């Protein structure tokens, strides 16, 4: 790529901070949109969509080979540059620079799509992220990149005059967002809370021992120069991420307290606790004939309430032709189950303490059939789009 990926070509050398008047020279004729801008947008969106599709097909495991990580980092770098362009529009709003470079408007208009592609790329495979939350993540990512560039410019970093600073500030925010998503999606609330508190405490300790003030970057006050300024900027980004993770962990703990699953918040299912409608779990299910004996088997969660969940048992015993069971062919369920199975159409209440390992998601056609039979509630469930699935670990016992 050209230097346009390192620093936008529209920003003049030595440009002043936000609020200062633009250069007095007259605006030159607009050069129009060039191939560089279109290539930059394509590099930000197309590879991210490819990685997202590969992630969905492989159940969350990467299949991009040895060149995967450099290509992923390059894609994230290109996306961060595109998502930084709205900050430039805000900084130079009402000046002649925007009139001289109309291509900036095209890149800024593409920034929400780049953010959405990155958010879809780093989404959790299980449970699936519903579109409203995916759009919310994309909006937060875009806001983080724009805010990072504006904060870097206000703190004195040469975002408009030194090649790479512009994209570096946006990339730092994007990387921290991705790391925060990984923590929120992969950790139970208590470890997430501990991790966020550790990051917050580390930032405070760095500030107390070195005098680096990340809050000064957030408030627009002078924060030093050179390496100290860069360190203050990075501390500020980490502070914002830690506060966001703390809020997310507290919200999840409140949700678990409301559903009666707080005492199992550190369950080995990690960030997937508690069980939710539409998920298939392995659980210890007592026999109806003798409550003192039980069997470890997969179950499909129908409803979740305080203290227990209503489930349908899954068995590998041949129940062909029996109206009390629904066939789950292995060809369609191989990402969730490891044998030909049948779903018992009889609701069983099961305490949360009996659940121990999430396996995947119910197929949409089966979930709709359960709705037609009046077995499930009408609330939102974790059911993937058609022909999607996920698999974690499939113990051999049924």
The pLDDT of residue 355 is above 90: no
The pLDDT of residue 321 is above 80: yes
Show me where the domains of the chain are located: 275-372
The pLDDT of residue 108 is above 60: yes
Classify 275-372 by CATH class: mainly beta
366-398 burial: b if 16+ Cβ within 10 Å, else e: bbeebeeeebbeeeebbbbeeebbbbbebeeeb
Among the ranges given (64-73, 134-143, 345-354, 357-366), the one the predictor scored with the smallest mean pLDDT: 64-73
Report helix, strand or coil for 379. Answer: coil
The pLDDT of residue 390 is above 60: no
Phi, psi at residue 310, to the nearest 5°? Answer: -90, 125
**What's the pLDDT score for residue 377?**
59
Report helix, strand or coil for 172. Answer: helix
Higher local confidence (pLDDT), 185 or 33 = 185
CA 207/CA 3 separation, integer angstroms: 35
- The answer to whether 218 and 237 are in contact (CB under 8 A) is no
The pLDDT of residue 260 is above 70: no
DSSP string for 201-253: HHHHHHHHHH---HHHHHHT----SHHHHHHHHHHHHHHHHHHHHHHHHHHHH
> How would residue 30 be classed by pLDDT, with cut points 50, 70 and 90?
very low
Give the single-character DSSP code of 29.
Answer: P
Summarize pLDDT for 186-238 with one digit per residue, the tens.
777 778 888 889 998 988 888 888 888 787 777 777 667 777 888 888 888 89
Q: What is the mean pLDDT of residues 131-149?
A: 92
**What's the pLDDT score for residue 31?**
52
CA angle 6, 119, 70 (to 5 degrees): 50
DSSP string for 35-75: HHHHHHHHHHHHHHHHHHHHHHHTTT---S-TTHHHHHHHH
The pLDDT of residue 116 is above 90: yes
**What's the pLDDT score for residue 5?**
37
**What's the pLDDT score for residue 155?**
82
Which residues touch 322 (CB under 8 Å, ≥6 apart)?
342
- The answer to whether 10 and 99 are in contact (CB under 8 A) is no
The pLDDT of residue 83 is above 60: yes
> How would residue 383 be classed by pLDDT, with cut points 50, 70 and 90?
low
Q: Detail the DSSP E strand segments found in the chain.
A: 279-286, 294-304, 308-315, 325-328, 341-351, 355-361
**What's the pLDDT score for residue 393?**
39
DSSP string for 362-377: --HHHHHHHHHTT-S-
Higher local confidence (pLDDT), 69 or 327 = 327
């Amino acid at each position: 790529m050209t230097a346009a990926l390192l620093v936008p070509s529209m920003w003049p050398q030595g440009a002043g901070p936000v609020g200062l008047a633009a250069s007095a020279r007259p605006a030159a004729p607009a050069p129009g949109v060039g191939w560089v801008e279109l290539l930059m947008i394509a590099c930000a969106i197309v590879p991210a969509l490819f990685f997202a599709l590969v992630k969905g097909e492989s159940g969350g495991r990467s299949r991009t080979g040895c060149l995967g990580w450099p290509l992923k980092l390059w894609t994230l770098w290109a996306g961060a540059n595109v998502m930084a362009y709205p900050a430039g529009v805000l900084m130079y709003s009402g000046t002649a620079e925007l009139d001289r470079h109309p291509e900036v408007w095209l890149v800024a208009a593409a920034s929400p799509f780049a953010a959405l592609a990155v958010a879809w790329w780093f989404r959790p495979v299980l449970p699936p992220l519903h579109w409203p939350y995916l759009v919310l993540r994309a909006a937060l990512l875009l806001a983080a990149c724009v805010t990072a560039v504006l904060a870097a410019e206000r703190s004195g970093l040469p975002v408009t005059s030194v090649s790479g600073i512009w994209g570096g500030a946006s990339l730092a925010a994007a990387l921290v967002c991705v790391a925060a998503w990984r923590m929120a999606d992969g950790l139970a609330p208590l470890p997430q809370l501990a991790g966020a508190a550790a990051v917050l405490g580390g930032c405070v300790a760095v500030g107390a021992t070195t005098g680096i003030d990340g809050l000064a970057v957030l408030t627009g006050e002078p924060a030093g120069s050179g390496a100290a300024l860069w360190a203050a900027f990075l501390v500020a980004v980490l502070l914002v991420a830690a506060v966001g993770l703390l809020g997310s962990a507290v919200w999840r703990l409140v949700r678990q307290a409301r559903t009666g699953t707080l005492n199992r918040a550190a369950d080995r299912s990690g960030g997937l606790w508690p069980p939710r409608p539409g998920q298939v779990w392995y659980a210890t299910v007592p026999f109806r004939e003798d409550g003192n004996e039980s069997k470890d088997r997969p179950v499909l969660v129908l409803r979740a309430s305080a203290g227990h969940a209503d489930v349908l048992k899954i068995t590998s015993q041949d129940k062909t032709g029996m109206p009390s069971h629904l066939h789950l062919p292995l060809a369609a369920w191989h990402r969730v189950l490891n044998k030909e199975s049948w779903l018992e159409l009889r609701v069983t209440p099961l305490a949360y303490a009996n659940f121990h390992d999430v396996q995947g998601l119910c197929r949409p056609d089966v979930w709709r059939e359960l709705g037609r039979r009046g077995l499930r509630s009408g609330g939102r469930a974790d059911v993937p789009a058609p022909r999607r699935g996920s698999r974690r670990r499939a113990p051999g016992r049924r």
